[in-house]
Amino acid sequence: MKEAYFRFYAELNDLLPLPNRGRDFSHTFGVAESVKDAIEAIGVPHTEVDLILANGQPAAFSYLVRDRDRISVYPVFRRIHLSPDTHLQPRSESDIRFVLDTHLGKLTAYLRMLGFDSLYRNDCEDAELAHISASQQRALLSRDRGLLKRSAVTLGYLVREAQPRQQLMEVLRRFDLSESIRPFRRCLHCNALLECVSKDLISDRLPPRTRKHYEEFNLCPECGRVYWKGSHYRRMKALIERLIDRPRPDCPAC
């Protein structure tokens, strides 16, 4: 058997057994294996890794681990700028888009509330989620390590937190989204961009009290839901301000 030595840094240690956190540890292997396969055998999906050093030199996922190698594995850097050639995770040239697995329905609603394009179905199989992520260049959010280890997935994130509000803050930090928030522009139910609509066109669909007290409305062109700045809107706005710790503009669709 051959033996290499690995060390994982920062939040990647959350994904390791306690005895291996914050230290060098050995990994034994027989046949030649890529460093990607070795890292995932240890328990860390490749979507979590942005830099690998093999004996002090940057290495690609395809690097073949050799006997006595020393491998250092780093997460995505948010405050340290690396040479573009050393990044292992793709860099989005446009606004980030998401697809979420079946256990993250509430997180989906929160992301849509903040204006992020977020696909979700509660009956989506793993293979279909991986295909959507790859074909549409969407970041796959999941709490399932096995799903993120699929070779088709090139951009994704393993959500650590269990509570939806904490999950939202985690995703905002991971993808550095605080400056990209545009709340109340998407339908919470189907993800479509909302459109301003004249009150006269939807007056017959409004409760009498809403028809009397509100003048501004948005319509989802896909599912037909109507939105206005009632008590539910005010609660969501207050939640956003608590989460993000600063006020945000009102609905930019108007």
| Domain ranges across the chain | 2-86, 98-180, 183-254
What's the mean per-residue pLDDT of the chain? Answer: 90
- The residues with which 100 forms a beta bridge, in sequence order, are 120, 141
Measured distance CA(75)–CA(1) in Å, rounded: 29
Q: How far is the CA of 160 from the CAs of 98, 170, 183, 235, in angstroms?
A: 17, 8, 24, 26
Lowest-confidence segment of 27-31, 34-38, 76-80, 228-232 by average pLDDT? 76-80
> What is the per-residue pLDDT for 94?
60
Residue-wise pLDDT for 109-136, tens only, equals 999 999 999 999 999 999 999 999 999 9
Which amino acid makes up residue 230? G
Q: Which fold has domain 2-86?
A: Ubiquitin-like (UB roll) (3.10.20)
What's the average model confidence in pLDDT over 207-227?
92
Residue 224 has pLDDT above 70, yes or no: yes
Three-state DSSP string of 72-84: EEECCCCCCCCCH
What's the average model confidence in pLDDT over 130-157?
96
243 token code pair? 């989460």
Strand, coil or helix: what is 98? Answer: strand
User: What are the phi and psi torsion angles at 253 (to 5°)?
Assistant: -75, -20
Which amino acid makes up residue 241? E
